[in-house]
Amino acid sequence: MADSKKQIYHERQKLQFCLLHSLNNLFQDKNAFTRKDLDDIAEKLVLEDPYKGNWARLSVIFKPHHNSLTGNYDINVLISAVEGKGKRVVWHDRRNKASSINLDESEGKLMGIVLNIPVKRYGGFWRSRHWVSLRRINGVWYNLDSDFESPYSFESTEELTDFLDGAIDGGTEVLLVKDDAD
């Protein structure tokens, strides 16, 4: 197991660039996306936004789709980035348990799972969300959380299902990344 973990690409957390790290971990490629790539996607979304006249003065820093200083990109950037790689995002209906997700679906159909987890830091004073990728590699599901020192392997799909059920119960959004051909 240790040897297979060495072959897994795992990018660590810096500032609030967890979406960048999550995407690179999901695609298993340190060059899948750069900060500039995600900034460009966010800017393109701004230009295409029909409501851009309604922004606040702080929009120079706290832009509609990301914070220009720290990152912290939103779901729109994730969807655009994934679609640009020929994949699509399917939002899991949180009213359903994780057992409704076909975790044994071929890797050609279900590339991975992206979680958007609510987090509280500094005694609950700071509330935010954190992007995490889960990916099956060589038949084993891994939690590639950029806050972890190394990837965490799930022992079974049942363990992953239990993990996802707990995450859903805690307010986590579950996004399935699939091939566009489905």
Residue 119, strand partner residues: 128
- Active-site residue (options: 65, 66, 130, 182): 130
166 and 158 Cβ atoms separated by less than 8 Å: no
| Secondary structure E strands in the chain | 87-91, 110-121, 126-137, 140-143, 152-153, 173-179
**Rounded to an integer, what distance in angstroms lies between the CA atom of residue 7 and that of residue 109?**
22
- Active-site residue (options: 66, 92, 145, 165): 145
**Rounded to an integer, what distance in angstroms lies between the CA atom of residue 182 and that of residue 40?**
28
Q: What is the pLDDT along the chain (182 residues), one digit of tens a residue?
A: 445 555 899 887 765 668 889 999 999 999 998 888 888 888 787 655 655 555 544 444 445 544 554 557 788 888 989 999 999 999 899 899 999 999 987 766 899 999 998 876 656 565 667 889 999 999 999 999 988 888 999 999 999 999 999 999 998 999 999 986 55
Q: Is 147 noted as a catalytic residue in this protein?
A: no
Q: Is 130 noted as a catalytic residue in this protein?
A: yes
Q: Is 65 noted as a catalytic residue in this protein?
A: no
Q: Are strands 126-137 and 140-143 parallel, antiparallel or unpaired?
A: antiparallel
What 8-state DSSP symbol labels residue 132? E
**Rounded to an integer, what distance in angstroms lies between the CA atom of residue 61 and that of residue 39?**
12
- Active-site residue (options: 10, 18, 65, 66): 18
| pTM of structure | 0.80
**Rounded to an integer, what distance in angstroms lies between the CA atom of residue 10 and that of residue 22?**
9
